[in-house]
Amino acid sequence: MVWMNVEAHWEAVYGAKRFDQVSWFRPHLETSIALIERATQDRSARIIDVGGGESTLVDDLIALGYRNLTVLDVSQTALRVTQERLGERANHVEWIAADITTVNFPSAAYDVWHDRAVFHFLTDPDDRAAYIDRVTKCVKPGGHVIIGTFGVGGPLKCSGLYVRRYDSESLHGEFGKRFRLMDSVTELHETPFGTTQRFLYCFCLVEEWKNAGRSSVVAPILDHPVEEASAFTAEALMSDARQLKKTGTEALPSICFLDFDGDLTDWLVERGIARPFDSWACFHTTMFWLDLEGVRCGIVARTIGGPFAVLIAEQLRTAGVSLIVGLTSAGRVAPELPLPGLVVASAAIRDEGTSYHYLRPQEEATCPSDVTEPIARELRDSGFAVRTGKVWTTDAPYRETSGQLQKWAEEGALAVEMQAASLFAFGRAQGAKVAVVARVSNAVDHDGQQFDTGSNDEGLMILQALARAGLSILQLRTQD
Ligand SMILES: C[S@@+](CC[C@H](N)C(=O)[O-])C[C@H]1O[C@@H](n2cnc3c(N)ncnc32)[C@H](O)[C@@H]1O
């Protein structure tokens, strides 16, 4: 489309017809006024009417008290006619005679952008792109964009020019996801000649840039700046804990277990197998140490759920722990899994919250095989029934529905638990070696079976196998 042609065309139209003799004339643009009032009640808001022509919208907005108005049109004649109609009131309006596809606007200049029956003339994709560049640049984040075009079933031409007709999806689709579609309205416009034209209006909120590209409902959990450093650190918290609790200065064991349930730790402590470790600078937990296979290992109990598990895992990593192994009870998802049985988690479905603070949204978080394989091998060698595979991590065990159980079983999940995805995401993001072993204790939908995670003696055997695996994993790492 050549700029002069557009201008010449519209000059000819307005030169030949009075304002109320054109097909788009309405005494008042009621739909536009209602949407503008919905966008802002602030009478000092900056509002631009793009391709305002000779319409009475500006008159009505002035009457409503809006005082920062701009009217843009490619036709000087149309602007002059409107100015003359307004008389003295025209002095309080900014007038721009320009083609919307080439005009230069300052950034974030407007709170509301209104366009009735202009965008649909842009049949050339380059013109539409130029238009969208301008609306994107000059409407403030948090501002609104109202676009009215011919709707589906509307005319194919207007004023002798071909148009594009839109439904709300296709019109919104032109603008991109930074324009959150708040509403759409269909209007049957009666022309001065007694015919009816179907119009479609989209009412969009302009998102902050950081929210661009998200779904129309922007859940904060899906929008974390995962590349940015945290302002609050485990180092800072542990330094406070060290001072206030006057903890010892001994180095932490290289291998530490997170015993999510805690019963095993209680038993180890009762038996004198595990003893408090005084150099653990933590406000929320006690660490115990125990000798396994000639290696001193740490164990922290009841770090249940992704947030708590990762809170403690962050502190363990900060304190120099090289391998963190979570030991959890879990519900059976794969019907063929023996009960009780062990699952070494190689991946976890991220149906929880914590992982999204570490990794961009994706369905799964994984555990590297140089961690899972030695663990599965040692456990098998100790006589346990072991499967390596995917688990489903949830934040809300009492919200596990039958449909979800079936779906995740079909997608290969063996068991459901509450930490793996969070810990794996933390491990991936922070470069920490992390593993999760699940003691599958029950069928989630129960079918009359008792909870059975196996005995505490078996628990100790599991820890011993994990310690052996840990040694081999850390030796592997040292050799690397
Ligand atoms: C169908 S009229 C609609 C006028 C007004 N919005 C209304 O609803 O009554 C289209 C208007 O857009 C203007 N226009 C068309 N193409 C334009 C462009 N590329 N840049 C600026 N204005 C344009 C025309 O001059 C005309 O006033």
Query: What would the pLDDT profile of 174-197 be if each residue is shown by its tens digit?
Result: 998 789 999 999 999 999 999 999
Place of tokens 């013109």: 127
Q: Decide: 179 in ligand 1 pocket, CB within 6 A.
A: no
pLDDT digits (tens, 9 = 90+) for 273-327: 999 999 999 999 999 999 998 999 999 999 999 999 999 999 999 999 999 999 9
pLDDT digits (tens, 9 = 90+) for 353-370: 999 999 877 788 999 889
Determine the pLDDT at residue 360.
79
CA of 117 to the centre of ligand 1 (A): 6
Q: Is the pLDDT of residue 208 over 90?
A: no
Question: Homologous superfamily of 3-216 in CATH?
Answer: Vaccinia Virus protein VP39 (3.40.50.150)
Model confidence at 458, pLDDT cuts 50, 70, 90, reads very high
pLDDT digits (tens, 9 = 90+) for 429-443: 999 999 999 999 776
Pairing of strands 341-351, 46-50: unpaired
Task: Write down how long the chain is.
Answer: 480
Which residue's CA is the closest to the ligand 1 atom numbered 20?
99
Pairing of strands 179-190, 93-97: unpaired
Model confidence at 450, pLDDT cuts 50, 70, 90, reads low
Determine the pLDDT at residue 2.
39
Q: What is the mean pLDDT of residues 69-82?
A: 98
User: Is the whole-model pTM more than 0.75?
Assistant: no
Q: Is the pLDDT of residue 118 over 60?
A: yes
User: Which pair of structure tokens corresponds to residue 2?
Assistant: 């050549």
Determine the pLDDT at residue 216.
47
Which residue's CA is the closest to the ligand 1 atom numbered 5?
52
Q: Torsions phi, psi of 309, nearest 5?
A: -60, -45
Which residue's CA is the closest to the ligand 1 atom numbered 10?
118
Say how far apart CA 414 and CA 92 lie, in whole Å. 70
Which residue's CA is the closest to the ligand 1 atom numbered 11?
51
CA of 176 to the centre of ligand 1 (A): 23
Q: Decide: 101 in ligand 1 pocket, CB within 6 A.
A: yes
Say how far apart CA 71 and CA 82 lie, in whole Å. 10
Q: Is the pLDDT of residue 478 over 70?
A: no
Determine the pLDDT at residue 453.
67
Determine the pLDDT at residue 479.
36
Domain with CATH 3.40.50.150 in the chain: 3-216
Among 56, 73, 83, say which to mutate for ligand 1: greatest number of ligand atoms within 8 Å of CB.
73
Taking each helix axis from N to C end, the angle separating 306-318 and 234-245, rounded to the nearest 10 degrees, works out to 80
As a whole-number percent, the residues of the chain with pLDDT over 70 amount to 94
Domain with CATH 3.40.50.1580 in the chain: 236-479
pLDDT digits (tens, 9 = 90+) for 316-359: 999 999 999 999 999 999 988 888 899 999 999 999 999 999 98
The second-level CATH assignment, the architecture, of 236-479 is 3-Layer(aba) Sandwich (3.40)
- As a whole number, the mean pLDDT across the chain is 92
pLDDT digits (tens, 9 = 90+) for 369-420: 899 999 999 999 999 999 999 999 999 999 999 889 999 999 899 999 999 9
Q: Decide: 10 in ligand 1 pocket, CB within 6 A.
A: yes
Which residue's CA is the closest to the ligand 1 atom numbered 16?
118
As a whole-number percent, the residues of the chain with pLDDT over 90 amount to 82
In b/e form, how buried is each residue of 79-100, taking b as 16+ CB within 10 angstroms?
bebbbeebeeebeebebbbebb
